[in-house]
Structure 1
């Protein structure tokens, strides 16, 4: 009997020593060690590299543990847009499809293409009950009314079908399985809704460079439909190289 108890105690201790998270000091120390490994890797995004970003790596790994997915997958799909952490839509959709509770997301288009009534509804089936669940219908009229089509670099006008699918799927996940997104918006949502116009002010070239370095503009790869970092504007880059000049700029933050 004592041997069995010893084995059980050893197993419990081993489990505790393997925990990652904020549950206890041992789990937190384990979390930091794993984060330190990713922090020194050149294969993760720069947001998680270097000593100053160790905290970012810790948070990303803790999120991965709670979601039951690979930490590297979380790091590669967690974007910082206008200072806000956000998921890529494709990552949320993939996580929903693989969670085991629902069938894969399908899409239904309605209305005439090119009109405000043209829209998309995302739907899936709950495997346990067989019940069909669906999102609200996202239309081009809604996108226009919400101002999503007017943002700089918006793909709503050039890639409407993809954007309708992304937004409909996001609404479905938020209402049916909100725990998957963990309260974070998608990069597309922040890109469409997160920019706030501020009053123009005079800034120095150093301030402009610092601002551009911390405000990550997101775009899309038109061939594969993925969120990507926007290229640096050559005009802005040339201005940053002229330290003796100051300019009136309006920032989108």
Structure 2
């Protein structure tokens, strides 16, 4: 017979079963704490945003791989996510947003016909209409031109220069957009847009401007944009139309150093000596006790 020997336990030590039970309870408490922290995070704003973003990434991938969407969305999941977000906010199909949201000068912008369609189908107003009339022929019109000019010292700035445009033979058409608010029966009129305004604002005189070849259509689009911005600004989500973005000219300036005759580059020793001299002069200004030339 084999002698079975039990390992003696130290006096006062808890039995092995009690130790195992404590370990199991500690693991269970840890799992409960982790589950509670995960649930609290999922209910927080950050957790909801993360889950929504992950879901939008999965939804955007098929759009980015499709050949039906416009080229600015193909292979670009970021653009598709933005389009999906706008579509969700506006309660529209994602493809509709993608087909009518363009990037002009780096800024997203809507097509004017899309905004008109949103106004006509929102149910708050009657279909938008336009009133056009000829205000007579134009003559010479002064307008603002954005050009580079050279200031004193050789500094160049992009500034506004007043020019004169010979509009002889061009009729000054005016267009006003209007619609009736169904809840009140009030006729809502937008601001008038004229060809003279287009010339003064510099839209007409820009290179490749559509105001020269199709002024009546541009008047319609711009009048609709004015009306929408005045009475239903939430429809555009803060974006301008394609026509407005193309006509917009941001006034900025760039300072260029004055031209100087070409000189030989400094060798490292000469450059270091100049830096030391400059630092010594700066120190002398801060400490009048020093007497440097």
Q: Is the shorter-chain TM-score for this pair beyond 0.5, marking a shared fold?
A: yes
Q: Give the deviation of 1:28 after TM superposition.
A: 2.4
Paired residues in the alignment total 177
CA–CA distance in 1 between the matches of 2:72 and 2:130? 33
Say if 1:150 and 1:123 are closer, same or farther in 2 by CA, change over 3 A.
same
1:166-245 matches, within 5 Å, as: 166-194=221-249
Aligned to 2:100: 77
Please point out which of 22, 41, 50 is paired with 1:25. 50
Residue 202 of structure 2 corresponds to residue 147 of structure 1:
yes
CA–CA distance in 2 between the matches of 1:78 and 1:69? 13
Max radius of gyration: which structure?
2
CA–CA distance in 2 between the matches of 1:192 and 1:27? 37
Please point out which of 135, 158, 163 is paired with 2:190. 135
Is the 8 Å Cα contact of residues 82 and 195 (structure 1) preserved in structure 2? no
CA–CA distance in 1 between the matches of 2:193 and 2:48? 40
Residue 65 of structure 2 corresponds to residue 40 of structure 1:
yes
Q: Give the deviation of 1:59 after TM superposition.
A: 0.6
Q: Which secondary structure state, in structure 2, belongs to the residue aligned with residue 157 of structure 1?
A: helix
Gaps of 5+ in 1: 1-21, 202-253
Q: Give the deviation of 1:24 after TM superposition.
A: 3.4
Q: Give the deviation of 1:129 after TM superposition.
A: 1.2
Q: Give the deviation of 1:110 after TM superposition.
A: 2.2
1:119-130 matches, within 5 Å, as: 119-130=174-185
**Superposition TM-score, scaled by structure 1 size:** 0.65
Is the 8 Å Cα contact of residues 87 and 187 (structure 1) preserved in structure 2? yes
**Superposition TM-score, scaled by structure 2 size:** 0.57
CA–CA distance in 2 between the matches of 1:41 and 1:198? 42
Deviations, residues 26-84 of structure 1 (Å, cap 9, x unaligned): 3322222111111110111121111xx21111011100111111110111111111111
The RMSD of aligned alpha carbons is 2.1
